[in-house]
Amino acid sequence: MATTQKHEKKPLHLAKLHVHKGDTVLVLTGKDRGKRGTVQRAMPRENKVIVEGVNIAKKHMKAGRGMAAGIIEKAMPLHASNVMVICTECGKPTRIGHERVPGTGEDEKERVRRVCKQCGQLIQEHTRD
């Protein structure tokens, strides 16, 4: 009898990803290796991301309340280690570095910025909806 491994979710305070929603990424492995796309959703507790136009699966849907039956195409999650962020400045796939910056304003909190390991420039943060 084969046992299936169930991965436990990380506690939320430990769940961090190098990829954020809105980042442009390059897929490193799998059937879509070499494709670029934008991260639609990041799931840090599962260590997965959903990339637009990558890892598409066909799903057979049964008719339900207000939905027609048919075959739909759905973007499935990829493991976060299988994608690499593309720098907004140099346009190359890169690892992410973190730079600590002293805070300004009333709270004076230290901020962490993401930087490109290739060119050292700041990677632009995208607005999270």
By CB atoms closer than 10 A (0-12, 13-18, 19+), residue 54 is buried
Q: Mean pLDDT: which of 1-10, 21-30, 110-119 is highest?
A: 21-30
Task: Indicate whether 128 pLDDT > 70.
Answer: no
The continuous run of DSSP H or E covering 64 comes out as none
pLDDT range class, residue 112, cuts 50, 70, 90: confident
- The whole domain housing 19 covers 12-93
pTM over cut 0.75: yes
Mean of the pLDDT values across residues 107-112? 82
3 state SS of 94? strand
The CATH number of residue 16's host domain is: 2.30.30.30
122 lies in a domain?
A: no
| CA pair distance 56, 74, nearest whole angstrom | 5
69 lies in a domain?
A: yes
CA nearest to 24, candidates 127, 129, 126, 115: 126
84 lies in a domain?
A: yes
Cα dihedral 12, 115, 31, 42 in deg (nearest 10): 30
User: In total, how many domains does the chain have?
Assistant: 1
pLDDT (tens digit per residue) in 28-71: 999 999 999 999 999 999 999 999 999 999 999 999 888 889 99
**pLDDT, position 3:** 63
